[in-house]
Amino acid sequence: MLAKNVIPDLVLMDVNMPNGNGHEATMWLHKKYPQVKILALSMYNDEGVIIKILKAGAKGYILKNIEPEELKVALDTIIEKDFYLPDTISGKVISGLQNDSDNYRDIELSDREKQFLTLLATEMTYKEIASAMFVSPRTIDDYKSNLCEKFKVLSQSAHTYRSRDVCYTERIGGSKRRRIVTIIFYI
């Protein structure tokens, strides 16, 4: 929380905080204090993560293994020019934006996987979902693993929330209906 009457010019935001979520904190800070410039910091060089945090309101993105001189350049550039991406990151962002349609490819889901996703969107636990679907908790783990693979939701560290926007086509009668959903798993 920001101290009363003290609003920083710039915040260095860790994208993967141990007890928090840098993406949500960035969205909150950007909404509450739009004048504060946010420089995201992460060990992940993944275009999806980079684009997501920039869309949340960050003015730049750097990796944790950055040299001190480049960190100073990043901080100064954000203050002076309102935006900073090192060359290694800007290429990733452009690639991610050009390939954004990959996030919305059609994915085949079984009826049971659709049912699992519907129940997952509620506040039910995995155990409650298993009971509602008349399957074992191990089967629920299998659904979760299969969906993570289909949606390319991969954990880069244990016990983390991962999300991905995905699109799948559902056949209703003779017509197709596209659905776009954001999948968030605790892995």
Higher-scoring residue by pLDDT: 132, 170: 132
Looking at residue 156, what is its pLDDT?
35
Q: Higher-confidence residue: 164 or 43?
A: 43
What CATH superfamily is the domain 10-98? Answer: Response regulator (3.40.50.2300)
Write the pLDDT tens digit of every residue in 52-105: 888 889 999 999 998 999 999 999 999 899 899 888 787 767 766 666 544 445
Q: Which residue has the higher pLDDT, 58 or 186?
A: 58
- Residue 91 vs residue 136, higher pLDDT: 136
Architecture of domain 103-186: Orthogonal Bundle (1.10)
Answer yes or no: same fold for 10-98 and 103-186: no
Segments making up each domain of the chain, as ranges: 10-98, 103-186
CA–CA distance, 147 with 47 (Å, rounded to integer): 21
